[in-house]
Chains A and B, each alone.
Chain A
Amino acid sequence: MALTCIQHCQRCTSLLRSRSVGIITLQYSTDAQHWPAALWNSFIVPVLPSVLQRSPNPSQTRERWNLGVRSYCESHAKVQPSQMKHRNTDELPGTDMVSYQNPLSHQLIDGGMLLKEWQTALDLDDAPGHSALEEISHEEAVRMDIPAALPPVSISLKDYVNESETLGKLVQLGVQLWKLEQRPNVSSMLLRLDFQTDVTPRLVFLKQLGVEDSRLGYLISHNPFILTESLENLQARVAYLRSKKFSAESVASMVSRAPYLLNFSVKRMDNRLEFYQQQLGLSAQKTRDVVARLPRLLCGSLEPVKENLKICKLEMGFRENELQHIVTVIPKVLTANKRKLTQIFDYIHNTMNIPHGLIVKFPQVLNAKYLRIKERHLFLQYLDRAQYDPAKPNYICLDKLVSLPDEAYCTEVASATLKDFELFQKTM
């Protein structure tokens, strides 16, 4: 509801400085249900409610309404002209800054709704005839609809969520607005969206893609900018992924697990797929599997991946085929924290004396927590059961060491009680 009347007032008083009549244009909507969601986000302009209900006796209310506007204008005429410089030009399409000298008359049909415009001659030097304390009849009072006074500037979306259709529908979808409003500029962007024209086509597109309804909330909470991405771009990127022979289900799962995937250009995704195929030396099908399992490989930067690959080859000394096997089983190794990865490998290889071949057979150990491996290994060592060589008897499988929950580990692997394990943990 970009109200132009106050700007006109300012212009009138600051620029003209003469006794002239300013033509003020008011825009109002006749439909009480739909609120065009456009609010100035950084401009301290008092926003006047612009919803008026069609009343059988419009002239009287119109008079009072305009006089109310006039007195409001006069009281705010002292607004600093410097504020006008901060006006941002990001407006709803269709609402133009109307020049005060050319009264514009246009009728916009927006979503089946009519926007009418009233022109009122406002004589700034006229004394107000009717006061706000004047008594009116009961019927008139009932007919007058006082819309909610929305604050022009707010730090939270709580003030607008009751009136905005977009925000209400997003809450129904399960979008976490409290997290989104902490990010800069996101809340203003969401308020400017129109549910019917902007949000619905994209939600329909995602549903057609195969994303489940329960995941839509998660998607938008993490990537609200999917609602501003153009539909042609989104369709082009999905078409590209299908052309690379990703199945429809895997595309749907990739999009729901990596919310930012469809915001990246085709060129960028192509670049990354090529990199993974070249560097890892995997076949096309295997690369597809790796990327489908960890779709954020296509989203982030390639530098950490390059560094991790270098560490695996040079510092840890894995061969090419060993590395390929590790990455196909645990793709997370490519994006893991370098320091933690080297710490775990150092402990497993140098302290537990496990050879490379055995690590490659059970790459899950590289994905586990360092503290967990250390505690469990030291417990086994205390019980003299730390034997990881498959050739010898009483062999402990690395997979079981790392992936079993504590109780199962204690009973199966260590043959001890959970209490003993906890007592041992306190001696470390």
Chain B
Amino acid sequence: MTTPSVRVFHKLEGLFSIYKPPGVHWKLVRDTVETNLLKGINAAPPPAPRQRVQFLAEPTTVVAEGSNELTLSAASVPALAHHPLVSGPEFQHIGVGVGHRLDVFSSGVLVLGVGQANKALTDLYRSHVTRDYTLEGELGMATDNFSHTGRLIERTTYDHITQDKLERVLAMMQGSNQKALLTYSKVDMSTQGAYELAVKGELRPDGKSPPIMTGLRLLHFQPPHFTLEVQCLNETQRYLCRVLHEVGLELRSTAVCKGVRRTRDGPFTIQHALTHQHWTSPDVIQAIRQYRSSRKASKAKHTQPGKDTGTASQRQEMSEEAAVTGDSHRLRSVLTSKAFGS
């Protein structure tokens, strides 16, 4: 029997992204979102109170001679066992799952899933979607945990660093990451198919791999501050802080990370991520609907008539992803599953 609360819960089952503020543990964020969603679900009007029938014997005031009649009257009394104050609210727990986690220091897009959509979340987690980060660095310092909140170890000069030196170092790092990608994707580079994939930038590692950066770019350089944009796979935020440290070392100086901000996680961009004022059920329902309609629109745009082989449909998904995110991804067939896309 679907009550209004259950209907609200079904509307909430889907994937959506939120913006995690810095300095907060991801688990606290997830718990806050769950509490807010529960408030919204339990705010729906409760079902009608149930009644039960109780038979009461009427007092035998008039006793006819010789008759032992006993009349019973039926009374409908409320069944308190199903009262919300006795049985509690309908929903006391909902399963809110987290996609790729963010540590306390970093901020950015965090993908959450509710209820049945958690299955799609595990598939998303395992598939090779890339993530976009914006790293802010500062030259001239080295700390023990590679971020500006750690214990200072070393101070260096950075006057000799120019923009083209920095870009040369970044190009070298990107080259080595590209080689690693080729190795881990386990394709034979002498074949035509592998060449085409590599040209389009659709190569992905096959199975487990260490963190690989598929794209690295300098956004802003004003010594001692600089900003990098990174697209990577299988990374941790700690690794990205270490990348900045290594950039400093390559430049014969030192650098620390002042901020890690995730701007994209797979198909979820920062544009539609919900800030903490909007972590409520109506906003989340709207975000889920928006994501689903955007997936449907992009799928409709890319459907081609005629024969559709498996690889061709996958390539379509990648190209439609490219349209959404600006670079192409190979998403597994999970994207065609109902739980994730529809």
Asked if A pairs with B, the answer is: yes
Is there a chain B Cβ closer than 8 Å to A53's Cβ?
yes
- Residues in A neighbouring B85, C-beta threshold 8 A: 171, 174-178
Q: Which residue of A32, A178, A428 contacts B107 across the interface (Cβ within 8 Å)? A: A428
Bound together, the chains give a CA A297 to CA B239 distance in angstroms of: 47
A177 touches B270 (CB 8 A): no
Determine chain B's interface SS by DSSP, over half rule.
Answer: mixed
Q: Which residue of B56, B81, B86, B276 contacts A371 across the interface (Cβ within 8 Å)? A: B276
Is there a chain B Cβ closer than 8 Å to A139's Cβ?
yes
B19 touches A426 (CB 8 A): yes
Q: How many residues of A contact B (CB 8 A)?
A: 31
A177 touches B86 (CB 8 A): yes
Given contacts A57-B68, A425-B21, 5 further A-B contacts (CB under 8 A): A142-B72, A162-B81, A167-B86, A371-B24, A375-B21
Q: Considering the complex, give the chain B residue whose CB is closest to the CB of A174.
A: B85
A residues 403-428 with Cβ under 8 Å of B? 406, 422, 425-428
A143 touches B80 (CB 8 A): no
A139 touches B57 (CB 8 A): no
Interface residues of A (CB under 8 A from B): 32, 53, 56-57, 139, 142-143, 145, 157-159, 161-162, 167-168, 171, 174-179, 370-371, 375, 406, 422, 425-428
- Residues in B neighbouring A171, C-beta threshold 8 A: 80, 83, 85-86
A158 and B21 in contact, given A171-B86, A178-B87, A178-B88 (Cβ under 8 angstroms): no
Q: Which of A167, A370, A371, A406 has most chain B Cβ within 10 Å?
A: A371
Bound together, the chains give a CA A66 to CA B277 distance in angstroms of: 68
- Residues in A neighbouring B294, C-beta threshold 8 A: none
* Interchain nearest-CB distance for B82 vs A (Å): 8
- Residues in A neighbouring B72, C-beta threshold 8 A: 142
Determine chain A's interface SS by DSSP, over half rule.
Answer: helix
* Interchain nearest-CB distance for A159 vs B (Å): 7
A167 touches B81 (CB 8 A): no
A53 touches B57 (CB 8 A): yes
- Residues in B neighbouring A57, C-beta threshold 8 A: 68
A426 touches B275 (CB 8 A): yes
Bound together, the chains give a CA A177 to CA B89 distance in angstroms of: 11
* Interchain nearest-CB distance for A30 vs B (Å): 12
B residues 264-308 with Cβ under 8 Å of A? 270, 273, 275-277
Bound together, the chains give a CA A178 to CA B277 distance in angstroms of: 31
Bound together, the chains give a CA A375 to CA B275 distance in angstroms of: 12
- Residues in B neighbouring A428, C-beta threshold 8 A: 21-22, 107, 261
B68 touches A139 (CB 8 A): yes
* Interchain nearest-CB distance for B25 vs A (Å): 13
Q: Considering the complex, give the chain A residue whose CB is closest to the CB of B22.
A: A428
A161 touches B107 (CB 8 A): no
- Residues in B neighbouring A168, C-beta threshold 8 A: 80
A406 touches B277 (CB 8 A): yes
A161 touches B81 (CB 8 A): yes
- Residues in A neighbouring B261, C-beta threshold 8 A: 427-428
A422 and B275 in contact, given A145-B57, A162-B81 (Cβ under 8 angstroms): yes
* Interchain nearest-CB distance for B68 vs A (Å): 5
